[in-house]
A and B are shown apart, each in its own frame.
Chain A
Amino acid sequence: DVKVTQSSRYLVKRTGEKVFLECVQDMDHENMFWYRQDPGLGLRLIYFSYDVKMKEKGDIPEGYSVSREKKERFSLILESASTNQTSMYLCASRSRRGLVGYTFGSGTRLTVV
């Protein structure tokens, strides 16, 4: 089975800190995605990547950046964390080959205090 691993299940950070959320997938998928999940809003796409060093903004990129230096790893960066970035963050990956679904990680619950 495809596995998408998010390095931290829970994180607590202070306002203004630089925060790194890491995501690793083990199936050589080209596409990787970062979402945030908030009650009543569902999942909203922050950034996605088609391949190494490729990235595209999603629907809510403000305050975030990403890095994809290796195919298996996709990092989400909060340059200066703010309290309104307290949320659940979910990473996903998908192969470009064929009509397959997306595989999600278990999520990182980030609290910014």
Chain B
Amino acid sequence: AQSVTQPDIHITVSEGASLELRCNYSYGATPYLFWYVQSPGQGLQLLLKYFSGDTLVQGIKGFEAEFKRSQSSFNLRKPSVHWSDAAEYFCAVVPSGGYNKLIFGAGTRLAVHP
């Protein structure tokens, strides 16, 4: 079945440590790929997106993501986490030919220890 998988439900890191959030998708052709962040009580904010071209994508707030076709992955990274990065992160895809439907993973909740 077509799906978006975020294997980690919760992740805890120390402030200043590096971060990688995993995302895998199971669509045949390369979809459009997105990462969103949701702070407590807030709506969704777009961090970055990948449509084509360079497989390393830079986003806002110091985040980046790398598309790996061979692994069907689009992992989100940040070299040094700040306490304000504590939030829930969602990976999402628009399948090619998917009529613009944005399909979400279950989310990863990030906690940051001082």
Please report A residues at the B interface, Cβ cutoff 8 Å.
Answer: 31, 33, 35, 40-45, 48, 56, 58, 90, 92, 94, 96, 99, 101-102, 104-107
Q: Does B95 contact A (CB under 8 A)?
A: no
Please report B residues at the A interface, Cβ cutoff 8 Å.
Answer: 4, 6, 9, 32, 34, 36, 42-44, 46, 49, 51, 90, 92, 99-107
> Min CB distance, B27 to chain A, in Å?
15
Bound Cα distance from A40 to B8, whole angstroms: 11
- B43 near A104: Cβ-Cβ < 8 Å: yes
- B51 near A99: Cβ-Cβ < 8 Å: yes
A-B contact pairs, 7 of them (CB 8 A): A35-B104, A42-B106, A48-B100, A101-B34, A101-B46, A102-B46, A104-B44
Which residues of A sit under 8 angstroms from B43, Cβ to Cβ? Answer: 90, 104-107
Which residues of B sit under 8 angstroms from A33, Cβ to Cβ? Answer: 101-102
- A40 near B106: Cβ-Cβ < 8 Å: yes
Evaluate whether A43 and B104 lie within 8 angstroms (CB atoms) in the complex, with A90-B43, A105-B43, A106-B43 already known: yes
Which residues of B sit under 8 angstroms from A40, Cβ to Cβ? Answer: 9, 106-107
Bound Cα distance from A10 to B6, whole angstroms: 29
Bound Cα distance from A48 to B98, whole angstroms: 12
> Min CB distance, B84 to chain A, in Å?
19
Bound Cα distance from A106 to B40, whole angstroms: 11
- B44 near A90: Cβ-Cβ < 8 Å: yes
- B32 near A42: Cβ-Cβ < 8 Å: no
- B46 near A41: Cβ-Cβ < 8 Å: no
> Min CB distance, A112 to chain B, in Å?
20
Question: Counting chain A CB atoms within 10 Å of each CB, which of B6, B44, B99 scores highest?
Answer: B44
Which residues of B sit under 8 angstroms from A31, Cβ to Cβ? Answer: 100
Question: Counting chain B CB atoms within 10 Å of each CB, which of A90, A102, A106, A107 scores highest?
Answer: A102
- B44 near A45: Cβ-Cβ < 8 Å: no
Contact of B101 among A48, A99, A101 (CB under 8 A): A48
Bound Cα distance from A33 to B103, whole angstroms: 11
Bound Cα distance from A23 to B44, whole angstroms: 15
Contact of A44 among B49, B99, B104 (CB under 8 A): B104
- B100 near A41: Cβ-Cβ < 8 Å: no
